[in-house]
Structure 1
């Protein structure tokens, strides 16, 4: 089927040509600073979000951009690193980063290689296959991701931003940009959520689900997994399949979440309306989603429960963990004691701008939801309050006016945008819509900032449509009498 994939790639090129994409760059070039070029946009992250954001920017005629990712080529994002589910949760037909082009969909890519019958038989998308699709997406669109380049810090320099870099793939120690897009994924505005109860444990006996975990080393060991969300369940399954003696999942909740509530209102209308719903509705919807929690997929849960040495324990509140005589001893608030060899934290991520090294020195200047919105009684939520309160172009806003004007040039195109703009910068269903909003907004900002130069371009434009030989001028007679009709 290699020929079919080559045919699809030609179809992508033809579709782009028919749509006149990408257009010529129209952005007024920024003058070099001390001989150093100034890029219009730097995108941090070459995973799904970074790829579609870069594609959208290029299709908006913003061509002077760089894309950096700290991972080796082909290993961007979580898909073949710390994600451990067998398949994606999203239905296979969702168009994801296709950005309105049928030829760029996962379906087109899959059918070109495996045929329509295989597509009809496919239930959910295997996780590694989704990564293969993203690798192809990057290649067929020739998106210039620079791998093994880590952005250490974003530093304001007058009207520009300086990005300090490290990594084997970097060509320079720093670059200058007018705007930065942080397409940095699930933990892109925060960090892994590490509960305090592991503070007294040796590091070798616990891991977060986003860590590189040596699962074969768990063979014959007792394992406790904290949480029953998707990542917790997937890591429990990996431990069981690696031969763990037992795996116990501990959850504070009294029962397993079973309904993905946001699926009940998912639609283009919801995606489009969410940023304009007002603070009360946005907070109420996201609070309800957090409280009800998205359940682990059915297949992932069955992957655990089919093992006779797997146990789900609900209503467990951990008081402390201690390392005693070579094992982890877990004490619960109701006086129970559990002995284990290893702990995996399926506790997700926290949104915490202060934890981002890229924003070091000024993250406290970013406006958070708790700075802008007073939640009603009964709807308080500390985690929601820590999300950045973003403008409609995904940019950070100042907590106090005048203290960080450069923040409006940093765009939070990652999970941190969820409360302000909905699920449009991380989840597969709305990613193309989010990228479209982002590119349109950045294009509008660039044009407005350079309006004087665009005005001068208007005045200076002198390419004639007519050459002067298309007509003959005549004088109007003193009295023009219409000619009589013949006959």
Structure 2
């Protein structure tokens, strides 16, 4: 069936016309509204921001837009990367296209004019949209840059948040980097929109400890693929990032690439795609702990396969080799050669790439140094039956519906409720609403609503006073004339007398 253009009047009209449409849509809904949150100062006359967001990628952008739409306007967004390099898309993401279907609304927050489809069709037309299969990765970054620009989101680039320190009811952030115009800022709420590694970091297996750092890299690292021309490359793992990095090495002239795969066979079914629905998005977070654990455990053990296109990108090279049941047991150097011992024997190469993903470990976040061990984790809250034991799942933070961290011991770290984990770390608690494209707008809506509710409750006395002080008259006094009652009839008078 032929698709209908999302906006026939805008198809091929260009971004300027789409920009006008976005502004019109927002104006029709009176968005963003004026701020309703009382301004605060502390420690003398230091200004206190309502919200600071760490991360200017897709999560940080849609979170900022959601907060602005809710009238929470005193916010700042810090990203450590230069403009145009936020998130993984132009850094360590090396796939040719996104896995997600092109039709997903993504960070549009309910606005058709803010979808990738509207952005694409406005420039290339409906026919090109219908011909498009998957979204090219660099094009997704272009779209996000436009999203930031058309909404005038307050992202400050090249600003790194070094440390977060509780300061009474507030949080103090220590900043660094070329874009930092202050050394510290105060905020009431902090949103960690820090992506896949947002509550931990790259997973580095212990078997590389004896190797020089020049002999290996993680897929999240900057890798000089040109230097791999003519080299023998060993890749540990067969997930999406392992596949994409192997493809880059092969396309840059690697002599060979050998995948060392622990599993006996390639995973082929993306189980989580089979249950995605409005019901799952909104119902998962309310399930009992046992059900949430069971669903995520199943997702982890079945493993998400790499995309078909990415896998074909590798396998079209005759010098790509997939070795199953080859879990790594040890590594060593012999001269300039990397020697990997597997369950099936030794593999020799010139460079090792770890496609081992990311680990959840709040203690690894330097911003939270000194109190990360006070964050409630799933292993503190729920003990699964033996057959569902999973160490990695147990390390995920146990966050509330507002994405906020919770205390491991009540009363010991109340400020944790002001730090919102709007990243991959929240997925076991809340599902796929704080990182993955399908549910990101729903997650941003939950986040903004929860922060708004918290502010209103904290400031209720101020709002009560505003209610009492409000004196703008709706009526001026000249809209009516008072009239006396008509004279009572004889019958009425008799009734009163009786």
Instruction: Please classify the TM superposition score into its range, dividing by the shorter chain length.
Output: over 0.9
Name the counterpart of 1:464.
Answer: 473
2:440 maps to 1:431: yes
Within 1, Cα distance between the matches of 2:414 and 2:378?
18
Q: 1:347 aligns with which of 342, 356, 359?
A: 356
Cα offsets for 1:277-328 (capped at 9, x unmatched)? 1101100000000000110000000000000000001111211100111111
Change (3 A) 1:477 1:382: same
Q: CA deviation at 1:34?
A: 2.2
Q: CA deviation at 1:474?
A: 2.3
Matches within 5 A, 1:291-302: 291-302=301-312
2:303 maps to 1:268: no
Name the counterpart of 1:43.
Answer: 53
Within 1, Cα distance between the matches of 2:383 and 2:42?
45
Change (3 A) 1:480 1:222: farther
Q: 1:389 aligns with which of 373, 398, 423?
A: 398
2:113 maps to 1:79: no
Cα offsets for 1:387-427 (capped at 9, x unmatched)? 00001100000000011000000000000000000000000
Within 2, Cα distance between the matches of 1:139 and 1:392?
30
Matches within 5 A, 1:388-467: 388-467=397-476
Cα offsets for 1:245-302 (capped at 9, x unmatched)? 0000111111101000011110011000011011011000000000001100000000
Q: 1:27 aligns with which of 34, 37, 44?
A: 37
Note the residue ranges of structure 2 that are not aligned, 5 or more in a row.
1-10, 492-498
* TM-score, L = length of structure 2: 0.95
Structure 1 residue matching 2:291: 3-state secondary structure: helix
Within 2, Cα distance between the matches of 1:417 and 1:247?
35
Matches within 5 A, 1:9-20: 9-20=19-30
Within 1, Cα distance between the matches of 2:489 and 2:432?
69
Matches within 5 A, 1:234-249: 234-249=244-259
Q: 1:63 aligns with which of 55, 62, 73?
A: 73
Structure 1 residue matching 2:31: 3-state secondary structure: coil
Matches within 5 A, 1:14-413: 14-334=24-344, 336-413=345-422
* TM-score, L = length of structure 1: 0.97
Contact 2:164-2:172 within 8 A present in 1 as well: yes
Within 2, Cα distance between the matches of 1:70 and 1:373?
35
Contact 2:197-2:424 within 8 A present in 1 as well: yes
Within 2, Cα distance between the matches of 1:7 and 1:94?
22
Cα offsets for 1:24-64 (capped at 9, x unmatched)? 10011113432211000000000000000000000000000
Alpha carbon RMSD of aligned pairs, Å?
Answer: 1.2
Q: Which 4+ stretches in 1 moved above 6 angstroms?
A: none
Structure 1 residue matching 2:46: 3-state secondary structure: coil
Within 1, Cα distance between the matches of 2:383 and 2:107?
35
Q: CA deviation at 1:478?
A: 5.4
Change (3 A) 1:170 1:2: farther
Deviates more, 1:78-87 or 1:317-326: 317-326
Structure 2 residue matching 1:239: 3-state secondary structure: helix
Within 2, Cα distance between the matches of 1:438 and 1:478?
63
Name the counterpart of 2:494.
Answer: none
Question: How many residues end up aligned between the 2 structures?
Answer: 481
Change (3 A) 1:480 1:42: farther
Name the counterpart of 2:6.
Answer: none
Within 2, Cα distance between the matches of 1:34 and 1:309?
66
Structure 2 residue matching 1:186: 3-state secondary structure: helix
Within 2, Cα distance between the matches of 1:294 and 1:317?
18
Q: CA deviation at 1:4?
A: 2.0
Within 2, Cα distance between the matches of 1:239 and 1:481?
106
